[in-house]
């Protein structure tokens, strides 16, 4: 790969020009590689090859094989599915003139605006393309039936990020107002009980404390208990999925909480051997904390079942080395003979997974060393950084049929004026 060569007496302008040229070349090469990736994925989608190893979706397959983030894998698959519908955008992409981020935004406009958005994409940043693709900027074909209004979908997501538990989502108006009413009742109840500083977050937590407290079955209530793992060596606390508990919360739990100890011998928790086939809750928590999700390479499944690597009927013990976390899909594939599992689950890389052909499923795709770096026909031209005059650009875009209708109405109006004169 060529490097930048500068002499000691190179001026600032010469240094900037050298880096600009090199960055333009690298950007063009990167765009070409991404375009080739999208073309390859388009061909992949026409087959079932992405289902190897029990991959749930093409996006999950790309995350495993290429080491992509979920968002980037979604972008690649979305462009691949629409590649044949946007010839003008794809032609620029295949030349290295557009980045994959620009193309991701461009293929979200109506298909009939392909040529218009392709022209804008060559000078627009991703942020400006996101503004340009807004639906109100486009006037569709009046001869086509209006698209059906999207049906709103309730959604809710939650999880840990940066050591804090977060929740977000949206509900229908009726369900949302009921949730709001329940929170209001709980907040008022806390204030009536003497907590004049009660917040909405206090009311939110109190709602779910009451929900769990209302469960009559002790075994069911324990099944949904939050388990905290205390390491007696250094006093650290972690959740089952591995998040470190802050010291202030540790002190509160140790002063006023129930600690379920997990006993270990030489660093390995006690197991139950052949004396018990059903995995006890204590051992299950150990396995879930160790594996933190489905253990199959490339799988992001969080909800798991505990599986005996050597089946119980074949003499396998209920010991941690013989127990592994599998999502329901991969657990089913294994018992169908389509996913082989062998090894010691207590070791970091001690489990071998194989497909129905006996081929080993690696933990991550292994990139091959490139033998030839593609060269774009012309260096990549970065988008304009200054403020856009959207009126000059011509937003919004109008379908040719709609434009023809406008011209006809203008002609009729002009004829009426002529007759009236």
Dmax over CA atoms of the chain, in Å, equals 104
Do the Cβ atoms of 116 and 92 come closer than 8 Å? no
CA distance 268 to 289: 13
CA distance 44 to 32: 18
Tokens of 29: 């090469």
3-state secondary structure of 353: strand
pLDDT at 267 over 50: no
Tokens of 138: 């486009």
Q: What is the pLDDT of residues 371-412, one digit of tens each?
A: 777 888 777 887 776 777 666 655 567 888 888 888 888 888
Residue 109: how many other CB atoms lie within 10 Å: 24
CA distance 353 to 332: 14
Give the confidence band of 257 by pLDDT, cuts at 50, 70, 90.
very low
Residue 2 has what pLDDT? 58
Residue 393 has what pLDDT? 59
CA distance 258 to 246: 17
3-state secondary structure of 184: helix
Residue 343 has what pLDDT? 92
Residue 255 has what pLDDT? 45
End-to-end CA distance of the chain: 74
Give the confidence band of 278 by pLDDT, cuts at 50, 70, 90.
low
CA distance 74 to 104: 10
CA distance 35 to 103: 10
DSSP letter, residue 25: H
- Mean pLDDT calculated for residue range 102-120: 91
- Vertex 144: Cα angle to 141 and 149 (nearest 5): 100
What's the chain's length in residues? Answer: 421
Buried (b) or exposed (e) across 334-363, using 16+ Cβ within 10 A?
A: beeeebbbeeebbeeeebebeeeeeeebee
Question: How far is residue 123 from each of residues 29, 118, 380, 382, 388, measured CA to CA in Å?
Answer: 19, 9, 11, 7, 10
Residue whose C-alpha is closest to residue 320's, from 358, 289, 349: 289
- Mean pLDDT calculated for residue range 344-358: 87
- Mean pLDDT calculated for residue range 214-231: 64
CA distance 98 to 381: 9
Domain ranges of the chain: 12-143+376-401, 164-214, 276-355
Residue with tokens 């060559």: 122
Percent of the chain scored above 90 by pLDDT? Answer: 22
More confidently predicted of 258 and 379:
379
DSSP letter, residue 287: H
Report the predicted TM-score, pTM, of the whole model to 2 decimal places.
Answer: 0.64
């Amino acid at each position: 790969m060529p490097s930048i060569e500068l002499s000691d007496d190179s001026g600032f302008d010469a240094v900037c020009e050298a880096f600009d040229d090199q960055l333009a070349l690298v950007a063009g090469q990167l765009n070409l590689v991404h375009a080739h990736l999208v073309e390859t994925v388009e061909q992949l989608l026409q087959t079932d090859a992405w289902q190897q190893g029990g991959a749930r979706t093409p996006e999950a397959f790309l995350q495993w094989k290429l080491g992509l983030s979920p968002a980037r894998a979604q972008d690649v698959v979305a462009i691949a599915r629409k590649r044949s519908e946007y010839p003008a955008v794809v032609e620029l992409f295949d030349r290295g003139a557009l980045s994959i981020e620009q193309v991701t935004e461009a293929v979200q406009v109506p298909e009939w605006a392909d040529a218009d958005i392709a022209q804008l994409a060559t000078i627009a940043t991703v942020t400006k393309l996101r503004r340009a693709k807004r639906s109100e900027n486009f006037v569709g074909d009046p001869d086509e039936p209006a698209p059906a209004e999207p049906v709103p979908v309730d959604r809710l997501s939650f999880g840990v990020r940066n050591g804090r538990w977060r929740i977000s989502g949206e509900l229908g108006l009726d369900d949302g107002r009921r949730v709001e009413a329940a929170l209001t009742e709980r907040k008022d109840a806390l204030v009536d009980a003497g907590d004049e500083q009660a917040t909405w977050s206090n009311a939110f937590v109190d709602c779910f404390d009451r929900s769990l407290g209302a469960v009559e079955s002790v075994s069911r209530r324990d099944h949904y208990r939050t388990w905290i793992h205390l390491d007696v060596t250094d006093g650290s606390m972690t959740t089952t999925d591995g998040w470190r508990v802050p010291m202030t919360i540790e002190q509160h739990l140790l002063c006023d909480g129930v600690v379920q100890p997990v006993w270990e011998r030489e660093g390995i928790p006690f197991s139950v051997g052949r004396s018990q086939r059903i995995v006890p809750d204590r051992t299950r928590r150990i396995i879930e904390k160790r594996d933190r999700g489905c253990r199959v390479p490339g799988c992001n499944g969080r909800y798991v079942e505990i599986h005996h690597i050597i089946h119980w009927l074949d003499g396998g013990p209920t010991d941690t080395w013989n127990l592994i976390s599998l999502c329901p899909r991969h657990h089913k594939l294994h018992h169908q003979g389509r996913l082989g599992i062998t090894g010691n689950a207590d070791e970091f890389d001690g489990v071998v997974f194989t497909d129905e052909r006996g081929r080993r499923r690696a933990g991550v795709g292994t990139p091959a060393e490139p033998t030839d770096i593609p060269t774009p026909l012309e260096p990549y031209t970065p988008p304009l950084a200054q403020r856009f005059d959207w009126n000059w650009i011509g937003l919004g875009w109008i379908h040719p049929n709609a434009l023809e209708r406008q011209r006809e109405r203008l002609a009729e109006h002009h004829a009426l004026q002529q007759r009236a004169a």
